[in-house]
Amino acid sequence: MGSASNPLVTSSVAVDSSPLPSNLTQDDLKKLAAYKAVEYVKSGMVVGLGTGSTAKHAVSRISDLLREGKLNDIIGIPTSTTTHEQAVSLGIPLSDLDSHPVVDLSIDGADEVDPSLNLVKGRGGSLLREKMVEGASKKFVVIVDESKLVKHLGGSGLAVPVEVVPFCCDFTRGKLEELFRGAGCKAKLRVKIGANGGETAPAVTDNGNYVVDLYLERDMGDLEAASEKILRLPGVVEHGMFLGIATTLIVAGKSGVTVRDRFGVKG
């Protein structure tokens, strides 16, 4: 199994182990995890606001608590233009890392989570800004439903994204595929899907870059080594493996909600 930045984590601690209603949708589970994560937010905090279908529930919940007066003096640092637009529409005060280089707490979802709390993120295309904000955070709470738990990164069969510059992007795509040929890697440039369902043009990130998606048939091995290999390639901006960054994992499943913390991290 791949490993990286691998301090042992505590065994799962049940927050609410009573079975949940059987008719809950995946989105309901995401909302449960998000609302639990927002309990970590305290007045006066600088909070990293994640991106995606799970994180949007946390952003909405923070807005509700501000409006109700249960939170105050919150400053949000959005991780994408989409989250920026949502937070503005909800009246959450915003800033950036230039003004607030230390973030008290970030809350975000993940596409995959391995047993050591390493993550794959960025299938929505916001991996660079997410990693900048969450890497600058004292505490990073990851919120997922149980479908995102994997034995090793890439184990879902879905993409491990890499943000690349547009210049000679197919050259970079080929180099990435070569790096992990032993893991059965297929590297594909991400494209936008048109209204008629056809592929149109490369998908562009908030930073004006492209994304190469790595599809792996087997475990890529040592994750720190894999990270270094990717980042050494000219043309690569950042990858979607978040290694040793998450401090707390909140998982919502049919059997309840559980929380896992890394040793030495206070909730």
- Residues marked active site are found at 130
CA 251 to CA 235: how far, in whole Å?
35
Cβ neighbourhood burial of 82 (10 Å; 0-12, 13-18, 19+): middle
Whether the CA torsion 22, 28, 29, 34 is positive or negative: it is negative
At 189 the three-state DSSP class reads strand
At 18 the three-state DSSP class reads coil
Segments of the chain assigned E as strands: 13-16, 46-49, 75-78, 103-108, 112-113, 119-120, 137-145, 160-164, 186-189, 191-193, 199-202, 210-215, 236-239, 241-242, 248-253, 256-261
Alpha carbon 234 to chain centroid, angstroms: 24
Written as six digits, the tokens of 140 are 């990073």
Helix ranges, the chain (H): 26-38, 55-67, 81-90, 127-135, 169-179, 223-232
Q: How many other CB atoms are found less than 10 A from the CB of residue 264?
A: 8
